[in-house]
Structure 1
């Protein structure tokens, strides 16, 4: 993150537009003033569209034989997710609120599932990683008194480097599952291509590059001696 500034890792343009003086000393100091850093972060999120009346999202439980192709970014009303058998993380009915949510399964069908509300996209406006946005949202829940995830991520999740993802994208493109131009980022296009590959090969179409997909597409997870991402 070349050029990222201070505790909240603002880029220079974000600093100029959104940093504020939180401690009243007449300066916007993201390095040495926690009030400045935290108020600037809140100001940035507010400007991105944060709605304080709603949370970022929530962990949910999915029924057996769930159609994981629905985890493709589409937004459905909570009522429709209830009809599909989705409950909160403790098996209770979802809230009766007139809002839409997208299903996110960042670690595939063996890991936790989340319904992401509009505020989730606001966090993604700061950092385009689903894992980042979920970590931020869950940390906020924990600070507010919530417990741990009811379904933790699998312990054997593969550690994918940027080069691994590039190889995966190239292999998917060669087999006709379009990821777009390979960039080493596990984004929506790549997850969509993985779902297509999984569907055609009788696998759970969760868009996650598990061992079965990686092995079939020839992605070698042997630790790299140089040039790997950490």
Structure 2
């Protein structure tokens, strides 16, 4: 698989499905490093300092000025939490049903419709200019940063330099660091305001620095491509431009759920055995250029449809490996919480909070502590 804008591990912070296993979020307004976890603040590291000194020479040969380097690295440093999150990435094996339960949750649909209404004029102008459906743009915004609520507040220079120094993906992240410095040198943003995810994805729709350089646009006309602003216009326009330049066809749907034996228009896929089938078009592939995942592209398309007024998928998913349907899992979560084992919500997704509650319940009953739900547990909780 070729490395796309996000396929190498940036993580859907807004979904809670990200590579870091936790969301480093921020409230609207300027980001302050004082609000970061302790392990995402710079700590002394002599080897990192030596690497930075050598990098300065390479950056200068790439056209980065001494003043830009001095300003960019003032206050920057080695972030141990970035390495921890990078090392702790796991290959998420969530089912499509679980993914969509989060990506197109009732809350996300409601917030998406409200965001669409607030920015209707801007979105309509973007659809006219770039040919990308306004609902698709809004859905990407929702999946990437929960409509701007979870943009990340980790300093990008510190994050990308830490990852470049670390070496596991050093060449890639040094390229991102150089691109970030060019953004600063161009005057689009100050170093103090250039913040994002722990891996350097920035703004309302989580662009990495090289994608910013290639696709970001100044839609507001203020002379800066400001994807960090509270006004999401430049971010949304940049996303529309990204899709338009990566194969989006004006007036064509992303795809649709196939019901029964209705004629197929597009390529037929069934990501989860026994679950819904989808007929997808070339616009589905354009969405995958944003994040190379069938689940992500279906999540964007389905959330866009829901924002536009459509209902939930009509085809049921099969029971999971433990013999539980989504309704069973929701009931299990409700019953556990009622018994004092809080699952922190009942969405039918058995994630870390539900597993912790299940383990506590099992331990309290003298059962084998596995964190795995079952039909027997559901009955016993009744």
TM-score normalized by the length of structure 2: 0.31
Tell me, which stretches of 5 or more residues in structure 1 are unaligned? 63-85, 88-92, 95-99, 159-221, 224-230
Q: Deviations over 1:83-117 (max 9, x none)?
A: xxx31xxxxx55xxxxx6211111112x1110111
Hey, what does 2:250 align to over in structure 1? 52
Q: 1:103 aligns with which of 243, 246, 268?
A: 268
1:147 to 2:328 alignment: no
Q: 1:23 aligns with which of 220, 241, 244?
A: 220
Hey, what does 2:288 align to over in structure 1? 124
- Displacement after TM superposition at 1:140 (Å): 1.2
- Displacement after TM superposition at 1:31 (Å): 1.7
Hey, what does 2:380 align to over in structure 1? none
In structure 2, what is the Cα distance between the partners aligned to 1:134 and 1:108? 15
- Displacement after TM superposition at 1:154 (Å): 4.0
Q: Cα RMSD over matched residues?
A: 2.2
Partner of 2:257, secondary structure, is: strand
Give the 3 Å change call, closer, same or farther, for CA 29–153 of structure 1 in structure 2: farther
In terms of fraction of residues, the more helix-rich structure is 2
In terms of fraction of residues, the more strand-rich structure is 1
Q: 2:300 aligns with which of 124, 136, 142?
A: 136
In structure 2, what is the Cα distance between the partners aligned to 1:157 and 1:15? 41
Give the ranges of 4+ consecutive aligned residues of structure 1 lying more than 6 Å apart after TM superposition: none
- Displacement after TM superposition at 1:13 (Å): 1.1
Give the 3 Å change call, closer, same or farther, for CA 30–103 of structure 1 in structure 2: same
Hey, what does 1:3 align to over in structure 2? 200
- Displacement after TM superposition at 1:34 (Å): 0.4
- Displacement after TM superposition at 1:134 (Å): 0.2
Q: Deviations over 1:15-56 (max 9, x none)?
A: 001101122222111122300111110010000010112100
Assess if the C-alpha contact under 8 Å between 1:107 and 1:157 holds in 2: no
Hey, what does 1:156 align to over in structure 2? 320
- Displacement after TM superposition at 1:156 (Å): 2.4
Assess if the C-alpha contact under 8 Å between 1:107 and 1:154 holds in 2: no
1:35 to 2:233 alignment: yes
Q: Deviations over 1:41-91 (max 9, x none)?
A: 0010000010112100000024xxxxxxxxxxxxxxxxxxxxxxx31xxxx
Partner of 1:48, secondary structure, is: coil
TM-score normalized by the length of structure 1: 0.51
Tell me, which stretches of 5 or more residues in structure 2 are unaligned? 1-9, 11-198, 323-369, 372-382
In structure 1, what is the Cα distance between the partners aligned to 2:233 and 2:207? 15
Structure of higher CA gyration radius: 2
